[in-house]
Chains A and B, each alone.
Chain A
Amino acid sequence: MAKLKDIAQLIRSKNAGPFSLTFDFMFDRAEDYRRVRDSGVINRELFSRLYGTAVEDVEIYSVDAAQGIKATIPRPITQGDLDDGDSFGGQLFGPLVDLEIPD
């Protein structure tokens, strides 16, 4: 087992427009990318559980050329609404960095 933060070169969250939130998991080694992708740890249920999104609204992508995995969800709170705490959405990945990735 290893933690995602020790394998990924970048874990980030960001707005994709005011109504969507996107999470990127980038890897500098192809084998790390494949290991995480194939582990299935980054899945729709994970985002549903952590961010309260309906499972069917979670989109997951993996792109070999970029060695990256992406998840996109409707923003749990629209950017800039009174109870939004992160205008850029840039700190909402926090709970994901310690995910355990099987060997």
Chain B
Amino acid sequence: MDEVRVLSVSGMLGSGYLESSLKKAMTWNPDFIGCDAGSTDGGAASLGEGKCSFSKAAVKRDLRLALMAARNNRIPFLTGSAGMAGADPNLAWTVDIVKEIAREDNLHFKMAVIHAEQDKAYLKRKLREGKIRPLKPAPPYNEEVIDRSEHIVGMMGAEPFIRALEQGAEVVIAGRSSDTSIFSAIPMQRGFPPAQVWHAAKILECGAACVAQRSRADGMFAWINRGYFVVEPPNPDYICTPLSVASHTFYETGSPVHLYEPSGMVDTSQARYEALSDRSVKVSETRFVPTKTYTIKLEGVEKAGYQTVAFAGVRDPLLIGQIDDWLARFQDRVRQRVAEMYGEEFARGGYVFNIRVYGKNGVMGKMEPVNKVVAHELGLVMEATAPTQEMAAAIMSSACHMGLHLAIPQWKGLISNLAFPHSPHQMNRGPVFRFNVNHVVEPADPYEMFPMEMINV
């Protein structure tokens, strides 16, 4: 039959899936198994520190069952954005887990490892050549930003995956990838139309996210044909409906009708969604507009400093009633103490002391439209960020002590304002990072930013 059958085991490697769903899906004879492993939702730390935010145990479990199923059926297994952020340390961590599984379960295969970490000299050259362009919105990008970046990755397209498969890879472990590339590579290699391939891939990369009511992480199956594709969840408790599949183009996307990939734009504005059964959906009439210029999106992070945090509760109704005034005086006291310890110049901008007030505007901060505090208790999350961990910890320990005893006018005598649940009150968070680039690069070809190694496991 002229179709490609695709299993996405889970929306995120490490978030889990049911073994029973994998077994069911294998009876549908997939041509390959894929799984996205990445996300930026957890924040900049995964890229900054080169660490996956899921545990080794969780990722290993999800990798093992999928790898065994793929090897037993002699079909490829592909994953991208390894280790969450897909930089070299994230990739190496994932590759080690794969090798460990292969050793333990006596698996043998040819593995392609595709790097997505970017060379700073290469990016500076591209910047000088005018080959790096901002997306909207984007922070300023220049050579200084590149120099102070902790890690920078490019989001690879389908082509590096296809090259790895052409060279005989049976398992592909890739660094940062566009989520869809993982699932587009094999159908594109076999010449299926990009409209159906990319739209199906967009649905597959999120695993069971496109079902009517998702209760846990699980997989998704797609049959990609010429002119249409069909999706059906292998988990018998889940159903796909035309509405649930159509709605999926909304999830985490800026536009629900135009999805941008390195090689072009997927246009779902005319797409037709029809129920094929009470749990499978056929999608047709998707269009694809190839781009004139092939581009690769960059992700990068830089260190914002080192952080120490402390949590404290407030239950005194009189203090709650004047919390804004008290917080302003608290901030001022902290600034005075920082000036005494590190000098006036440092106190004017060398550190950040931030207090989130849960029960008031802890989530939305300055955007919070509700300005009346009705809570009978407030939670304060205090954060000191400074150039070194030692300074951040020093600022926080002084702040905790000053906040504890900072008087309010109604009480006469020494008071203790802050209910600390922990001893010590404060925790060192290590370095903290911020995203610093939202740009695309025009590479000479789809491969030059993504070097590959082939390993016989």
B is a partner of A: yes
- Whether B256 contacts A68 by the Cβ 8 Å rule is yes
Complex Cα spacing A62 to B186, Å: 33
Which residues from chain B contact A63 at a C-beta distance below 8 Å?
Answer: 246, 249-250, 256-257, 269
Q: Are B246 and A66 in contact (CB under 8 A)?
A: yes
CA distance A82 to B385 in the complex (A): 8
Interface centre among A16, A63, A79 (most CB of B within 10 A): A63
The interface residues of chain B lying within 8 Å CB-to-CB of A87 are 41-43
Q: Which of A65, A68, A75, A80 contacts B433 (CB 8 A)?
A: A80
- B256–A61 touching, CB < 8 Å: yes
Query: Is there a chain A Cβ closer than 8 Å to B28's Cβ?
Result: no
- Show the binding face of A for B, using Cβ within 8 Å: 14-20, 22, 24, 26, 28, 50-52, 57, 59, 61, 63, 65-68, 70, 72, 74-83, 85-88, 91-92, 94-95
Cβ-closest chain B residue relative to A92: B364
Query: Is B254 a contact of A80 with CB atoms below 8 Å?
Result: no
Q: Is the CB of B354 within 8 A of A80?
A: no
Q: Which residues of B contact A88 (CB under 8 A)?
A: 41
Q: What are 11 of the A-B contact pairs (CB < 8 Å)?
A: A17-B254, A19-B135, A63-B256, A63-B269, A66-B249, A77-B365, A79-B40, A82-B304, A82-B352, A82-B385, A94-B363
In contact, A19 and B137 (Cβ under 8 angstroms):
yes
Query: 8 shortest A-B CB distances, which residue pairs?
Result: A66-B246, A74-B137, A80-B43, A65-B246, A18-B435, A80-B44, A16-B254, A66-B247
Give the size category of B's interface with A. 35 or more
Interface residues of B in 190-223 (CB under 8 A from A): none
Q: Give the A-binding residues of B (Cβ under 8 A).
A: 40-45, 135-139, 242-243, 246-247, 249-257, 269, 271-273, 299, 304, 352, 354, 356, 362-367, 369-370, 383, 385, 432-435, 438
Contact A68 B367 (CB under 8 A): no
Chain B neighbourhood of A75, CB < 8 A: 137
Q: In the assembly, what is the distance between CA of A82 and CA of B302, in Å?
A: 12
Does A22 contact B247, Cβ atoms closer than 8 Å?
A: no
Q: Besides A78-B434, A78-B435, 12 other CB < 8 A contacts?
A: A16-B254, A19-B438, A20-B254, A22-B250, A61-B256, A61-B257, A65-B273, A66-B250, A66-B256, A67-B247, A80-B43, A85-B364
Q: Which A residues touch B363, using CB under 8 A?
A: 85-86, 91-92, 94
Residues of A within 8 A of B272 (CB): 65
Are A24 and B250 closer than 8 Å at their CB atoms? yes
Query: Out of B138, B432, B438, which one reaches A82, CB within 8 Å?
Result: B432
Q: Which residues of A contact B369 (CB under 8 A)?
A: 50, 95
State whether A22 touches B246 (Cβ < 8 A): no
Q: Report the minimum CB–CB distance from A48 to chain B (whole Å).
A: 12
Whole-angstrom distance between the alpha carbons of A76 and B367 in the complex? 8
A48 vs B198: C-alpha distance when bound (angstroms): 33
Nearest chain-A residue to B212 (Cβ)?
A28
Check if B362 sits within 8 Å of A15, measured CB to CB: no
Contact partners of B137 in chain A: CB under 8 A: 19-20, 57, 74-75
**Chain A residues within 8 Å of B362, by CB:** 85
Question: Which A residues lie within 8 Å of B367 (CB)?
Answer: 50-52, 76, 92
Which residues of B have CB within 8 Å of A76? 367
Is A16's CB under 8 angstroms from B249's CB?
A: no
B257: chain A residues within 8 A (beta carbon): 61, 63
Contact for B136 among A22, A74, A95, CB less than 8 A: A74
Q: Tell me which residues across on chain A come within 8 A of B252, comparing CB atoms.
A: 14-16, 22
Instruction: A14 to B271: give the CA distance in the assembly, Å.
Output: 24
Question: Most A CB atoms within 10 A — which of B137, B352, B354?
Answer: B137
Minimum CB distance partner of B136 in chain A: A74
A19 touches B138 (CB 8 A): yes
Tell me, rounded to whole Å, the shortest Cβ–Cβ distance linking A86 to chain B: 6
Please, which residue of chain A has its CB at the minimum distance from the CB of B137?
A74
